[in-house]
Amino acid sequence: AQGDLEIVLLDILKELHSKYKSLQEGVVANYIPELAKVNPDLFSICIVTVDGQVYEIGDYEQLFTIQSISKVFAYGLALEDHGQVEVLKRVGVEPTGEAFNAIILDEQSKRPYNPMVNAGAIATTSLIKGSGATERLNRMLDMFQRYIGRDVFVDISVFTSERSTGHRNRAMAHLMLNFGMIDRNIEEALDLYFQQCAVIVNCHDLAVMAATLANRGINPISKKQAVDKRYIKDILSVMYTCGMYNFAGEWAYKIGIPAKSGVCGGIIAVVPHKMGIGVFSPPLDARGNSVRGVKVCEELSQQLGLHLFECS
């Protein structure tokens, strides 16, 4: 039976890849030159099951920076460092219905709405423990390493470019400093946020990371625990309600599994106890989600019956 599933899954991936590779919609992120120069035709899909089977097609070894997909994993680390109660004091779990870079805080609590949008992600990252900037960066990289299963590196050009142009993110950090939602040196918190966004991955890595979340926090290839399993439900809940920004509601309705996108054109999607999905295709729609990525996930969800509330 395993053999049959293998053939079926690979066939589906091949079919989706050839169906959507000619789709020419969307625009590659262009707020920094390093992202603007990416080839818009790059396209890959990878599925990793919780028992470690890998199915992949296209440019799945192509490296890119993880961008906003990092927010999911940084949130897990902040939860491990402080626990749910403390993290909730600084970052909410309410969808914004706004763009990922909206400069808004919850009117009453002054918290950023959720950890999947920029403001909430910057507050989350400011919670990462460590005795100095280097130790915090190393703890962050170690965390990514556990999910990915190999050494990870930061793209220095992307990091410095983000840092020198990221004034909107800087404005959010100042606003949160004003309301006491960030207490550390904000330039240091922003540096760590820009560094986490510049972590280098490929589409295969994305699927392994997603599969780790699907597998109670255990990387299905290396078999190592990447995150304490007690936080998996917190992580997946905010992905489900907030991971696709102002498309999160429609995504939950149509596709029905926790997911997270980034301006790199990557999407991870998690089918709990079954598999992780990674898609990479740089052109983005108006909300900052990969055009081909959304289409592929929609079809995969339909064909494989992945919607969490599907009655089979």
Active site (catalytic) residues: 68, 71, 193, 245, 263
Task: Tell whether residue 262 is a contact of ligand GLN (CB under 6 A).
Answer: yes
Give the shortest CB-297-to-ligand GLN separation in angstroms. Answer: 17
CA-based nearest residue to 93, from 229, 236, 250, 232: 236
Binding residues for substrate: 68, 118, 162, 169, 193, 245, 263
Task: Tell whether residue 169 is a contact of ligand GLN (CB under 6 A).
Answer: yes
Task: Out of 197, 201, 238, 248, name the contact with ligand GLN by CB under 6 A.
Answer: 197
Q: Are 210 and 76 in contact (CB under 8 A)?
A: no
Task: Tell whether residue 290 is a contact of ligand GLN (CB under 6 A).
Answer: no
Which H or E run contains 58? strand 54-58
Task: Tell whether residue 242 is a contact of ligand GLN (CB under 6 A).
Answer: no
Give 188 or 299: the residue with its C-beta nearer to ligand GLN.
188
* The residue to which tokens 């680390």 are assigned: 77
Task: Out of 96, 101, 114, 125, name the contact with ligand GLN by CB under 6 A.
Answer: 101
Q: Are 56 and 47 in contact (CB under 8 A)?
A: yes
Binding residues: 68, 118, 162, 169, 193, 245, 263
CA distance 123 to 194: 13
Task: Tell whether residue 68 is a contact of ligand GLN (CB under 6 A).
Answer: yes
Does residue 208 sit in helix, strand or coil? helix
CA distance 20 to 43: 9
Q: Which amino acid is at 27?
A: V
Q: Are 136 and 128 in contact (CB under 8 A)?
A: yes
Count of positions on this chain that bind ligand GLN (CB under 6 A)? 11
Give 140 or 197: the residue with its C-beta nearer to ligand GLN.
197
CA distance 74 to 83: 13
Instruction: Count CB neighbours of 137 within 10 A.
Output: 18
Give 57 or 189: the residue with its C-beta nearer to ligand GLN.
189
- The dihedral through the CA atoms of 86, 89, 92, 93 has a sign that is positive
Give 197 or 297: the residue with its C-beta nearer to ligand GLN.
197
> What are the structure tokens assigned to 164, written together?
């020198």
Give the shortest CB-247-to-ligand GLN separation in angstroms. Answer: 12
Task: Tell whether residue 202 is a contact of ligand GLN (CB under 6 A).
Answer: no
Give the shortest CB-271-to-ligand GLN separation in angstroms. Answer: 23
Task: Out of 100, 144, 147, 251, name the contact with ligand GLN by CB under 6 A.
Answer: 100
**Which residues lie near ligand GLN (CB under 6 A)?**
67-68, 100-101, 118, 162, 169, 197, 262-263, 288
